[in-house]
Structure 1
Amino acid sequence: MTAFRYIFSAAVLIWVLGFLWFTVTLPQPAAKVATDAVIVPTGGAGRIAQGLAVLDAGLAKKMLVTGVDPEVTSAEFAAEFKVDAARMECCITLGFAAVDTRSNATETAEWVDANAITSLRLVTTDWHMRRAAGELDRTLPPSITVVRDAVPSAPSTGSLFLEYHKLLASRAAGLFGLRG
């Protein structure tokens, strides 16, 4: 019984230290380096604006917004984010197939392959970056360079708690080869 208590205590300590690491060391915005494309999963404030800023700065030529609601039209997106028609036509793809972080990675991998992309900038919220990047790492070929560009936020403890557990589940699924 004593051995069980030590193992349980060690597991709880590792969990607590992991959660502290997760919350204290949230990913940061990336340096201004150029990539072929910018990938923006929907779902968090500031993500699309940051992706468009990357395009405007000339740090990428194309942008995929993955996980767009199927009811959103290109015209509605353009109006919402003040994107002119020429920019929408040449440079921005709206992806409607993804419904979660894992399918964002799948949709991204298909788009990357279809567009001969060799480097990309992943723009997502700081608390979401580790899981989104991990899913991309498992989905994209190793030859694709991924620059992580986190959008700073002020998440609640509850949001961090939930995301930490999603990250643990995602890593466990990847470790054991469990894919949906």
Structure 2
Amino acid sequence: MIEAELKARVHNPEYVMGQLDRMAEGRPEVYRDTYYDVPSGSLDARDQELRVRTIHGPESTRSVLTYKSARIDAESGSKPEHETRVDDPEAVHAMLRGLGYVPAIAFQKRCRNYEFNSHGRSMLATLVEVPEIQGTFLEVETMVQAEHELSAALDDVRSVMTQLGIHEGDFTTERYTDAVAASRTPDAGAAPPV
């Protein structure tokens, strides 16, 4: 599967949330993400990601193991993704460490998720705040089976974001991992780039 996703900085979170609330019921969740790499950093160097995510919701907690290969679309940052639910995240953390992977970075995301259909596709819109990064972000994604479907899917995602008040200059492909890492360096300014 390929995650057709666009991400943008949100300048008016209340407006965007109000628009999303008209489309679907929002689900508040907190993600605790740990990204793994080998000690040499070769996964990151190849633009690959290996992540354990634990999602805390108001009524349940669940965890997933995700592998994302390198970007296949530079403009959006969209990547092929393989994800599976895990019953025992601590066992998965232990397995990854036992196989030689090391935690590269871990952080928290405060999310409000909205699932809806648009343009004949299942969509997920997520309003995101990361405590270590200034601002609010919007991610909208849908999944496609093959690379030749990606362009049309991204057009549909962009259309939804435009309806939500996102403008061309608001889009970004910078990863949260990079922004959080920059915020943790001693010479990082008060407002790390995102």
By the TM > 0.5 criterion, same fold?
Answer: no
- Flag the structure with higher strand content: 2
TM (norm. structure 1) is 0.28
- Flag the structure with higher helix content: 1
Report which of the two structures shows the higher radius of gyration computed on alpha carbons. 1
Which protein has greater RCO, CA pairs closer than 8 Å, 6+ apart?
2
